[in-house]
Amino acid sequence: MSVRHVAVFRWKDGVGDDDVARIDAALAALPAQIPSLRAYHHGADLGLGEGRWGYGIVAECDDAEGWRAYDAHPAHQQVVVEVIHPCVAERAAVQIGG
């Protein structure tokens, strides 16, 4: 069973377009570095409704082991700690089967 990891973020006050562009670039580099990623999408919310989060990531892996490899991968952890975490006010995540 494939696993889809969905994470959404609300940014801290003061996070701007340059910060989001840096996050986009860092995330875009991950699929080439993490073999267990089968599909990877990320970006700012399109603002099509109320009660939305500011940014989302969808990572698809073949199975739970693949997701764990992605989650623990040094390149992913570096992006989380150095690029994303300093901008995050709130985060929510879910893993679903597909």
Could you tell me the CATH number of the domain that includes residue 69?
Answer: 3.30.70.100
Which tens digit of pLDDT belongs to each residue from 62-91?
Answer: 999 999 999 999 999 999 999 999 999 999
Confidence (pTM): 0.93
Domain coverage including residue 58: 3-97
Q: What is the pLDDT of residue 98?
A: 76
Tokens in use for 83? 């690029």
Which tens digit of pLDDT belongs to each residue from 32-65?
Answer: 999 999 999 999 999 999 999 999 999 999 999 9
Which tens digit of pLDDT belongs to each residue from 17-36?
Answer: 999 999 999 999 999 999 99
Give the pairing of strands 55-61 and 88-97.
unpaired
**Residue 80 CB contacts under 8 Å (≥ 6 apart), including other chains:** none
Considering its fold, how many domains does the chain have in total?
1
